Chain A
Amino acid sequence: MTTAFASDPVSTIAPVPTPAVSPASADTNYPPAERAAVDASARGPVLFFFGNGLLWLMLATVLGLITSIQLAYPSFLADVPFLSYGRIWPAFTNTLCFGWGSLAGLGVTIWLLARLGRVRVKLPGVLITGAIFWQVGLTYGIIGILGGKTTGLEGLEIPTGSAILMMIGYGLIVVWALMLFSFRSQSTPFISVWYLVAALLWFPWSFALAHAARFLPNVTGVMQGLVAAWASQNFLSVWLTAIGLAAAYYLIPKVVNRPVHSYNLAAYGFWSFILFTGLTGAVRLSGGPIPAWVVTLSIAANILLLVQIVTVTTNLVLTMRGQYHMVYHSPTIRFTFFGAIAFTVASCLSLFASLRSVDRIVHFTQFQNAETQLIIYSFFSMVIFGAIYYILPRLVGCEWLSSTMITIHFWGAAYGGGLLVVVLLLSGLATGYALTDPAATVRQIIETSSVYLAGAILGWLLIAVGHLVFGLHFLLMLLRIGQPGGEPTLFSPIGEEAKH
């Protein structure tokens, strides 16, 4: 077993001196030839994860667009049972989270663990088999949801049978990824690795426990709801967030060619994240029929998370200090830094919305969808896009063909996603205030959101354009149609100081 992930012979013959302090800059201390060998070993599975993740993203885009049209025009596709809103909506959220989010996130995870651990991926077929199991389960699950077969638990709609297939696939992937971690040749793990290991370990337990809770004796009624809320909050706030932050902690220092500003801040951020995030789940049922202390605990955890928000933001922004011009040049930085800022905004918004005085207004409204949208799309997906722009040229051996296409993708994703979030926030506030007015009739409450619905459709259309262009660009890269390798494709040329 030890040979399966043995580190490169070069390092055993002439070990690179391990720095006394934790490595602030990630993987610059080993030769480019070895880096290329690590990249080559990861190529198959990482391309497979990215490619499949993108297909799920395309499906999610179509489904998201349909739901936004249905909210404005309730008759749209209403006569087709499997396309009615009540089925398209959960199909959309599950496709986005478990299709795009998980696969693209795992692709980034595998590449980062190999790169940062200075270890080659052996037997990549195991990872690909895992991804196939995951997707077969997910496909059955989505078909089930569209056919009306669902667990009825929000965030965990995929029927348990399909979920078991997904878990088998995930098991293969996580074992292989943790092997990369334990056979790494860099003894002190970089901060990104901490987040990745946390994500890998948290997800399966929380997902499996939430499904098990449906069948365990005596777990009835609101307990199932609480466990489902806890698990889906964990998925968003632990799993997606951890992978997004891991990628941001890697990419930003790497591209601006500076070490992470402070390793101590990074450590404080990580430990407060891992300690408090898992306690925030009950805010989803705030004011609901669960014991009040659980909600109070979750609100307190949300407030304590301020430590993480401040430390992570400070650290990433200070790492960028003096290099902000890179957002004009480097696609990777533009996407990743946008995502990092969106993380801060999303976290502050979630904290704000969890306070009882705010929650009583915005609960049950589109405001909560805006929070989710910010985390999944404006933060996580943008960082992952940035990561794909960085990683893909290193896997296929050529650079992105067109900076114009990257620009269109960015504007579509940033403006479309941003517009969607703003529209959902305003709509949520309007509905929320109407809901707190006892004299408002149901019709008046519904009307508050109607002016914003067109904005949501426009947002989705912009996102769709961005994704189409990105999908095409990705396909061209797979066909090796691009600029010759060596220099990254930039929006505009930069001075000598910041090349990477």
Chain B
Amino acid sequence: MNRSNFLLCGIIGSFALSTFLLVLVPQMQLGGMQPQYNNEEGKITDIYPIENRGIVAAGRAVYVSEGCMYCHSQQIRDEQNGADIDRGWGVRRTVARDYLFDSPPLLGSSRIGPDLANVGSATWRNEPTDEDAMYKPAKRDAAWELLHLYDPRTIVKESNMPSYRYLFDKRPISGQRSVDALDVPVEDGWEIVPTSEAKELVGYLLSLDRSHPLKEVKSATPEVAAK
């Protein structure tokens, strides 16, 4: 056989093998996946996950365009692969079904900041706040998230996260102070209000909750998972 034909066949063959094993077979395995639901006498209840719609979808787009995934992962690894669950970042490992409607999936490859897979879950929202911080909001709620986006170091003193001030408007107060205005020092007569992007982003963050029990994976603390 001609040497260069042999070379070309080898190259194409190796590519075909790689595509088959790493793309086609996993796709056959995962491609037909559906959300998990209960079928109670013809009534379908408890569907998980659900599609990203409205403010969640819009906030997701902001998350992507600001590149949040270069510092924050959204995947919980099991007990054999690190301390994610022991640390309380999630009650179970995340599996393919969790990301069913995520296009693109924001798995992240770097943890320059904490994992956000469950940042909207009850555990995370009730996390105690930083003792040394300038502000100590009682809960990690929407107000917390907005303030943190505007200036992370007012809430987490040694945070290495950049401020996203450009997602906020500084404007003169006309009449009544806006209900959205942030509780931060600003000159008299002015207020800091979140743009729609900031609100959407926070809406998306607070929607992130991958603690819903799934039949293919064991949750670490059944009493929490079964809430």
Contacts and interface: CB of A to CB of B under 8 A. Distances in A.
B136 to A, nearest CB: 15
B19 A197 contact: no
Interface in A155-208: 181-182, 187-189, 194, 197-198, 201-202, 205-206
B105 A221 contact: yes
Contact of B162 (A75, A182, A289, A361): A75
Given A74-B162, A189-B7, A221 B83 contact: no
B29 interface: yes
A287 B99 contact: no
B212 interface: no
Given A201-B15, A209-B19, A226 B26 contact: yes
Contacts of A368: 109-110
Interface residues of B, number: 73
Nearest to B2: A187
Contacts of A225: 99, 104-105, 107
Nearest to A215: B103
Contacts of A282: 22
Interface centre among B15, B107, B158 (most CB of A within 10 A): B107
Contact of B23 (A149, A209, A271, A445): A209
B21 interface: yes
Contacts of B125: none
Interface in A72-101: 74-75, 78-81, 84-87, 89-90
Contact of A291 (B29, B110, B165): B29
Contacts of B33: 221
Given A209-B19, A279-B18, A289 B107 contact: yes
| Interface of A, helix, strand, loop or mixed by DSSP | helix
Contact of A85 (B15, B67, B105, B158): B67
A297 to B, nearest CB: 6
Contacts, number: 227
B102 interface: yes
B70 A222 contact: no
B39 interface: no
Given A71-B160, A287-B81, A289-B94, A148 B65 contact: yes
B55 interface: no
Nearest to A447: B158
Contacts of B103: 214, 220-221, 224
Contact of B15 (A151, A202, A271, A361): A202
Interface in A371-400: none
B15 A230 contact: no
A274 interface: yes
B111 interface: yes
B15 A221 contact: no
A219 B96 CA distance: 12
A154 B29 contact: no
A335 to B, nearest CB: 28
A365 B66 contact: no
Contacts of B160: 71, 74, 446, 450
A288 B87 contact: no
Interface string B64-82: 1111111101010110111
A258 interface: no
Contacts of B96: 221-222, 289-291
Interface of A: 70-71, 74-75, 78-81, 84-87, 89-90, 148-154, 181-182, 187-189, 194, 197-198, 201-202, 205-206, 209, 213-214, 218-228, 230, 234, 271, 274-275, 278-279, 281-282, 284-291, 294, 297-298, 356, 359-361, 363-366, 368-369, 431, 435-438, 440, 442-443, 445-447, 449-450
6 contacts: A74-B159, A150-B65, A287-B78, A294-B26, A366-B110, A446-B113
